[in-house]
Structure 1
Amino acid sequence: MPLFNPHELRRAIPAGKRVLGLDPGSKTIGLALTDVSLMLASPYRSIPRKKLGDVATTLAAIVEKEEIGALIAGLPLSLDGSFGPAARAAQDWLTELATRLHLPACTWDERLSSSAVNRFLIQDADMTRKRRAEVVDKMAASYMLQGWLDATVED
């Protein structure tokens, strides 16, 4: 299944469905959900990063339970905005995942999302390093997903 551009994806989401945001890291994948009105993203949970088939099985249960209509995954562009090997790998991973889950999907720039979340958790929430490690992935997914929601809202 080919990936959509961000605005086309928003128009392709069936009414009453939510979007699942994915922030794939090397060890875990942070998950976030939108509300059904596609206005607000919230942290959901983190899952272990395993083989694609195992991840697809885990996500299929979430897709059914949470009535998901589309996927948004973080795109790890280089800090200068260039498209490198990590970005290509993320697109390929999401394309295969979307195909297995039969859902439309797109990528969204995730540069600095984890840094922004960590800065917030240190300065404003005064969290310990251990507690930050437990929540940063799902919060980074929420940060990225909210960025997509805000950028694609229809006037």
Structure 2
Amino acid sequence: MTIRRGRRLGVDVGSVRVGVAVCDPDGLVATPLETVPADDGVFARIAELAVEVDAIEIVVGLPVSLNGRESHAAKAARAFAAQLKEHVGTVLVRLHDERMSTMSADSLLRSGGRSGRSRREVIDQAAATVILQDALDVERTRGTPPGETI
């Protein structure tokens, strides 16, 4: 299958920090980009990053429970994505199921030899990378953009 050409940002929403990842223009590989404080400047900074990398879309992780239900965290992610959309103009914003992304990121960092403290410093970026990579893989497999457009 094919994947749309263009760079994307992946976003892992947290109450204290927001992890951001980016992919290459061919949509093959997601890599960590930045951790942004979850304060009043978070939307402006992500919008700046989208412009800097010429992003075609932003994929925001939607934390759905294992049984498929949406919790308080999912509602917060939906609200975050809606506010982000107001700041990024014509850049698409999508919600993508992020089940287990933080656990996967933590496991990857641990297996890479990261200590507890150094993992905490980059876990949000790593989770954003897992979210974005999964979205890219889903699009490549299905041939259609993943998730739900805001």
TM-score range, shorter chain: 0.7 to 0.9
Give the drift of 1:20.
0.7
The correspondence for 1:27, drawn from 4, 8, 16, is 16
- Pick one of 110, 120, 125 that aligns with 2:108: 120
Q: How many residues align?
A: 139
Could you tell me which runs of 5 or more consecutive residues in structure 1 were left unpaired when the two chains were aligned: 1-9
* Structure 2 counterparts to residues 78-93 of structure 1, below 5 A: 78-93=65-80
Residues 128-148 of structure 1, C-alpha deviation per residue, up to 9 Å, x if partnerless? Answer: 111111111101100111000
| Residue aligning to 2:84 | 97
- Corresponding position of 1:148: 135
Query: What SS does the corresponding residue of 1:90 show, helix, strand or coil?
Result: helix
Q: Structure 1 residue 139 and structure 2 residue 130: aligned?
A: no
Counterparts of 2:112 and 2:126 in 1: how far apart (Å)?
13
Report the 3-state secondary structure (helix = DSSP H, G, I; strand = E; otherwise coil) of the residue aligned with 1:68.
coil
Could you tell me how far 1:58 is from its partner in structure 2? Answer: 1.2
Structure 2 runs not aligned, ≥5 long: 145-150
Among 35, 45, 67, which residue is 1:46 paired with? 35
> Which portions of structure 1, spanning 4 or more consecutive aligned residues, are displaced by more than 3 angstroms?
none
Match of 2:97 in 1: 109
Do the aligned residues in 2 keep the contact of 1:23 with 1:141 (CA within 8 Å)?
yes
Q: Is 1:71 aligned with 2:55?
A: no
Q: CA deviation at 1:88?
A: 2.1
Helix, strand or coil: the match of 2:80? helix
Query: 1: CA distance between counterparts of 2:76 and 2:121?
Result: 25
Matching residue's letter, 2:54: E
2:8 partner amino acid: V
- RMSD of Structure 2 on Structure 1 (CA): 1.7
* Partner in structure 1 of residue 48 of structure 2: 61
8 Å contact 1:77–1:111 — kept in the other structure? Answer: yes
- Structure 1 Cα separation of the partners of residues 75 and 121 of structure 2: 27
